[in-house]
Structure 1
Amino acid sequence: MKKKVMLAVLTACLMFSAAACSNQANDDTAGETQNTADGEESQETEESTSRLVSVEDVDKYIKIGNYKGLKLDRMMEEITEDQVNAQIESDLVANAEEVTDADAQVQDQDIVNINYVGRKDGKEFDGGSAENYDLTIGSETFIEGFEDGLVGAKKGETRSLNLTFPEEYPTEDLAGQDVVFEVTVNSIKRPGELTEDWVKAHTDYKSVKEYQAAVRSEMEKAATDSALANLRNSAWSAVEEASEVKEYPAEDLQKAKEDYNSLIESYAKQSNMEMEEFLESQGTTQEQLDEQCEQYAQYKVKQNLIVQGIIDKEGLSLTDEAAEKVKTEMLEQYGVDDINTLVEQFGETSVNESVGVVRVCDYIIENADITDKIDDGAGGVLDGDAPEDTEEETTEGTTEE
């Protein structure tokens, strides 16, 4: 069955620009969007000051909701010792080494590579067999008794496991049924212990204490980045929902529709189908496609009107100091060194839109009334001051010249 994409394509089309506020993007989808343009978009440098809309008098087309003095919550995740230890345990597992002792026996937390065949009433059943499957003992990946049944086995040993599928198992003809798995252990890998020698061999740190501190620091930075992403989303949503389009600029709306239809045509081409056949394979009619196209175009134009309107009113730009910091953030996110690399991959328009959305989000945050709250990881929320580096991270990309 061919993968259905129509229901998700609206979100996919918006991916690069709209999702910039949440620090997420889909490289494949955005790349496909750029490819469908067949090189028609100009590949100018980051110094470009192109407007995001074709009109000069933005107020004629949209009433932008209040974007100053908004009350927003900045939710920070509290990194606990248990979370740090869990991450270290994950690192130990990821660097597990093969056990070479021929007499070594499988034990809890070992990673065993296995071949297995499952039979019911002496006959193999669908989905019950695999070769060279890596299984962590104790992960509860398989039905009860499977992993425990391998504890004590040696490399090369084959065991027959008499097991019973649970009554609530989703495959009806296996639920509650007795089966036999024949399992051969091909190899055994075992996570190391957290020692000075392990740290020196598998990390860039020189001691357990230094490594533990680095793990915590990385997790806290990830929590800070997530808090900023969520804060940007909240800021954007508040303004977008409060804004009202008076009239959609015809040129912008038409361009957005053309971009959307080009993307759909590229999907059809990749599937080696004519458009009518492709729509049928997606369970979608031309009328439904036209409706999705209209929704996409209206949202995209509304987004650009809001961003351009705030840029105009507040004297912001896509090349000011704060915008340059946004670009630096994007480069780090995509793992590239030059903004022109993103321009070549996604197109100048998409890059400008992404910078504009984040630049405006940060301006809204800079002028908001923000309450810092701590997520204690147990479903509770506590009022409290954000960590010092959180404040720096939030304001870093919002300073104006």
Structure 2
Amino acid sequence: MKAKKKAWIVIIVLAVIGFCVGFYFGYKGEKDKQEQTNTQTRTQEKEIRAQGEMKDGELVDYTKNNMLELGKYKGRTVTVTPTETEVYQAILLEAEDWKKKVADGERVEKGDWISLDYEGYVDDQPSDDLSESGAVIQVGAGNLFNAAFERGLMGLKLGETYNLNVTFAEDDADPDVAGKTITFSVEVNAKFNDAYAKKMSKNKYPNVKAYYEYAKAKEEKENREGIGDTVWEDLLKECNVKKYPEGSRKQAYKDQKRSYQVFAKVSGQSYEEFIGALGQTDEDIQSSADDQVKARMTAKTIAIKEGLTLSDADYERFLLAFLEPEEEEDKTLKAMEKRYLEEQSCYPRDDMLIELVKEYLGKNSKMK
């Protein structure tokens, strides 16, 4: 009798255990199924939102919903050694502030390196082929048009506009100017020679050659430090937005316009007057806004593909670098974010993510 009773107890216990186990796994299966459904729903919601408006700080792979064609972003090669023209461009930009500090520093002489703007007229019509802004030449070296043109530059005063009439040979390689006298409107922006080299370096570099080597090393160092920016700008040219998140596109335009309106108010102008003075139109502002949205889409996509996360420390670091607050200003993360939202855009985390992606690209690029 006792044995039969024990057997029933065992059967009941096993049944209870079986029920509990079945209930547990059934519940777990339902829970897992529900969690899977929730995950799919969140993903779908994110993709739907991505097509309408970005959420600041939320990562989305825009290549998966066919909104973005992403260019090659890893293993790119960047030239960091500057060309001769690039070095002299940097030198002459600095030299513009020294023209009144150097003896006889305001008129062009043979042998000077100069930066100039010129516009040529063929049959009284401006010619793009005979025009350039910021051209860099050494006067008398025969690098621009012909000897007559370069002779005409000698004696010109910096910052003033002159008309030069230049006659081209009958056998000139350009049939549009061969045998003709072309009028050029010319303005020399800056010059550089041994006297400038001494003055600008406080006698550390006695001549053009010595100063050039110093400037070349400086430019190369800056190029190396800014490699991430260079890769980023080149990459964006290769990326193609097939569909913009329309809500974000509208918001970016509002942010851009708001910034211009602030500057316009400070200068005592209307928004239309201000952008007009800058040679911009409302369409240009929208184009600039589109470029910003494209940059955010690209950064978010790369961040997902490479597992990049913008930490609070990085976020604060990039905000500090961007805003450059004065000593007396509040430098807390909350204060800087508030200022960014007021002055720049509604996407502070996305914009700082761009800086993080730039760093990543720079570290994964090759220099030559």
Relative contact order (alpha carbons < 8 A, sep ≥ 6): 1 or 2 greater? 1
TM-score (norm 1): 0.39
| Structure with greater proportional helix content | 2
TM-score (norm 2): 0.42
Larger radius of gyration: 2
